[in-house]
């Protein structure tokens, strides 16, 4: 049996008081390893963008406010948090997405600096239907509507960074943060290396769904009711965030240019496969080269994120559930059992 922590943002509170950084904030609660957190997160605009006439650059006073941070009892640098997502449900019947000036993959940005004026800023509102589990795309310039399957996920999941750094919730990196990968869905376990005592775990930026790469810079952004469990792996290090679900072992790399994000993720997967299988480094390199899937997560944030995914079914059967001491399966079974 698990403890449950129900600390949650005040729905009537000022979103600007919530953390917009990983690091730099005192814990809102201390939880023991194994605790279930049952809470919710504000959307990336703090709820300020609600209609097609709201423009994020004018309406939103916050970006990616987080729920947390939570102090995990006993977590110390060199340990790993295992965060297993039990349930994600969009909290309201509304998601929004926007273009945002100088942000996105197909526009000049503050760093891919050009002399172009910004693309037009527009807001799309999606009706979210939890019965049919769909989000309705409605074109702004024509009549087309399309119902898209929901696939809820969290864009930001992370801990306080190393080296005393405090990082914007717009940035992904070794500490997790704004990875913006659709793999961070219910049923997945995210592994995060601990950098400071207590880890200071936080999360937010819920997406009703997103395409890989998050091309225009925003997903279908929504407040999220989320239930997760946090476990602690003592003495296990995790240089870059990893994700495991029933089907895949996944590694992440966050860097620019995008090939460096790819390199990090795949070097990590080579390492993971070698550890798990006893293969030599070169044999693991060969094995990963013929078996990995390699989707983009985000190609818009201050670092880009790539994922490397190994289908567990391609591993010897005896090893499929053995990664990281089998914690993913244990967490799955406990919450299902």
CB closer to its own copies out of 33 and 173: 173
Residue 127 to residue 329: CA distance in whole angstroms: 35
CB closer to its own copies out of 203 and 287: 287
Cβ 120 to its own copies shortest distance, Å = 6
3-class DSSP state for residue 244?
strand
Contact between 264 and its own copies by CB under 8 A: the answer reads yes
Member of 280, 325, 326, 333 binding its own copies (CB under 8 A): 280
Contact between 70 and its own copies by CB under 8 A: the answer reads no
Options 44-52, 164-172, 187-195, 227-235: segment touching its own copies (CB under 8 A): 164-172
Member of 57, 73, 168, 322 binding its own copies (CB under 8 A): 168
Residue 128 to residue 237: CA distance in whole angstroms: 39
Contact between 260 and its own copies by CB under 8 A: the answer reads yes
Give pairs for 322-330: CB < 8 Å, separation 24+. 322/276, 323/244, 323/249, 323/272, 323/276, 324/80, 324/82, 324/191, 324/233, 324/236, 324/244, 325/233, 325/236, 327/82, 327/189, 327/231, 327/233, 328/82, 328/84, 328/189, 328/244, 328/245, 328/246
Contact between 111 and its own copies by CB under 8 A: the answer reads yes
**Count of beta carbons in the 10 Å neighbourhood of residue 38:** 17
**Dihedral-angle region of residue 78 (phi above 0 means left; psi in -120 to 50 means alpha; beta otherwise):** left
Contact between 193 and its own copies by CB under 8 A: the answer reads no
Member of 1, 6, 26, 116 binding its own copies (CB under 8 A): 116
Cβ 164 to its own copies shortest distance, Å = 5
For residues 199 to 228, the per-residue mask of contacts with its own copies, x marking binding by CB under 8 A and - elsewhere, is: ----------xxxxxxxxxxxx--------
Contact between 283 and its own copies by CB under 8 A: the answer reads yes
Member of 17, 130, 314, 325 binding its own copies (CB under 8 A): 314
Q: What are phi and psi of 288, to 5 degrees?
A: -65, -35
Identify the sign of the CA torsion 191, 192, 198, 200. negative
Contact between 17 and its own copies by CB under 8 A: the answer reads no
Residue 316 to residue 318: CA distance in whole angstroms: 6
User: Cβ contacts of residue 131 below 8 Å, gap of 6+?
Assistant: none
3-class DSSP state for residue 9?
coil
Member of 124, 133, 136, 321 binding its own copies (CB under 8 A): 124
Contact between 242 and its own copies by CB under 8 A: the answer reads no
CB closer to its own copies out of 1 and 317: 317
| Cα 105–Cα 111–Cα 114 angle in degrees, nearest 5 | 80
By CB under 8 A, the residues from 45 to 64 that bind its own copies are: none
Member of 15, 23, 46, 172 binding its own copies (CB under 8 A): 23
Options 66-74, 84-92, 291-299, 329-337: segment touching its own copies (CB under 8 A): 291-299
CB closer to its own copies out of 242 and 332: 242
CB closer to its own copies out of 2 and 57: 57
Contact between 237 and its own copies by CB under 8 A: the answer reads no
């Amino acid at each position: 049996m698990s403890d449950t922590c129900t600390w949650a943002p005040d729905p009537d509170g000022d979103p600007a008081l919530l953390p917009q950084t990983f690091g730099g904030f005192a814990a809102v609660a201390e939880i023991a390893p194994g605790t279930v957190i049952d809470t919710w997160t504000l959307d990336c605009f703090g709820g300020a963008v609600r209609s097609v006439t709201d423009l994020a650059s004018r309406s939103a006073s916050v970006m990616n406010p987080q729920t947390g941070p939570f102090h995990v009892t006993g977590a110390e640098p060199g340990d790993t948090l295992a965060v297993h997502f039990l349930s994600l449900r969009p909290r309201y019947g509304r998601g929004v997405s926007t273009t945002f000036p100088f942000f996105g993959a197909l526009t000049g940005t503050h760093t891919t600096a050009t002399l172009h004026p910004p693309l037009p800023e527009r807001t799309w509102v999606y009706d979210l239907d939890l019965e049919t589990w769909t989000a309705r795309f409605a074109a702004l310039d024509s009549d087309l509507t399309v119902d898209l399957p929901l696939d809820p996920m969290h864009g930001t999941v992370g801990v306080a960074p190393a080296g005393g750094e405090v990082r914007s919730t717009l940035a992904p990196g070794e500490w997790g943060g704004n990875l913006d990968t659709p793999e961070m869905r219910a049923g997945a376990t995210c592994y995060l290396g601990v950098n400071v005592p207590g880890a200071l775990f936080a999360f937010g930026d819920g997406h009703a769904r997103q395409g890989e790469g998050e091309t225009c810079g925003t997903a279908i952004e929504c407040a999220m009711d989320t239930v997760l469990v946090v476990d602690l792996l003592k003495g296990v290090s995790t240089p870059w965030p990893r994700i495991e679900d029933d089907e895949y072992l996944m590694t992440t790399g966050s860097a620019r240019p995008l090939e460096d994000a790819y390199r990090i993720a795949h070097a990590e997967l080579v390492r993971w496969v070698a550890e798990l299988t006893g293969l030599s480094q070169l044999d693991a390199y060969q094995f990963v080269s013929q078996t990995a899937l390699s989707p983009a997560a985000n190609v818009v944030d201050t670092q880009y994120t790539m994922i490397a995914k190994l289908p567990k079914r391609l591993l010897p059967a005896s090893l499929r559930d053995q990664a990281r001491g089998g914690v993913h399966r244990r967490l799955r079974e406990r919450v299902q059992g």
